[in-house]
């Protein structure tokens, strides 16, 4: 599949954001056991493209069932939750991997509602 320059820049931005986000998590919670997205960064633009296409086809709700690996990155980078909202789940030193997040959000670029299940 060929992408035009603006689309390639969006994909690059998402990949860079996901890497920086993982670096931030590793720095902020150095002692926490976590399951990051390291090595699976291409999941982000792939999921985003799939969700955009689904919305174009009229899909109204997308339910994401996934393991812990990369979940926070998906919430921030694909579902576009604000980082403040994501991190509010972890106040009080809660271990990241012990959390099960159930989230429903509207993505600004699409009309589809998203829910992330463990």
Contact criterion met (CB below 8 Å) for 114 and 51: yes
| CA-to-CA separations, 16 to 9, 55, 93, 97, in angstroms, rounded | 10, 24, 27, 23
Contact criterion met (CB below 8 Å) for 84 and 95: no
Q: Please choose, from the candidates 9, 63, 72, the residue with its C-alpha nearest in 3D space to the C-alpha of residue 40.
A: 72
pLDDT in tens, 9-50: 988 998 999 999 888 888 887 777 777 888 888 888 888 888
| pTM, 2 dp | 0.68
pLDDT in tens, 55-75: 888 888 888 887 778 888 888
Question: Order of strands across the sheet with 61-65?
Answer: 61-65, 113-117, 103-106
Residue corresponding to tokens 């999921």: 47
């Amino acid at each position: 599949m060929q992408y035009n320059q603006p689309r390639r820049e969006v994909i690059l931005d998402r990949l860079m954001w996901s890497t920086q986000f993982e670096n931030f998590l590793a720095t902020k919670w150095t002692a926490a056991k976590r399951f990051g997205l390291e090595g699976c960064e291409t999941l982000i633009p792939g999921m985003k493209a799939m969700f955009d296409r689904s919305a174009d086809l009229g899909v109204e709700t997308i339910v994401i069932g996934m393991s812990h690996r990369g979940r926070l990155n998906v919430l921030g980078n694909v579902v576009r939750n604000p980082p403040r909202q994501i991190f509010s789940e972890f106040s009080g030193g809660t271990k990241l991997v012990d959390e099960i997040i159930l989230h429903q959000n509207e993505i600004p670029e699409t009309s589809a509602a998203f829910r992330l299940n463990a």
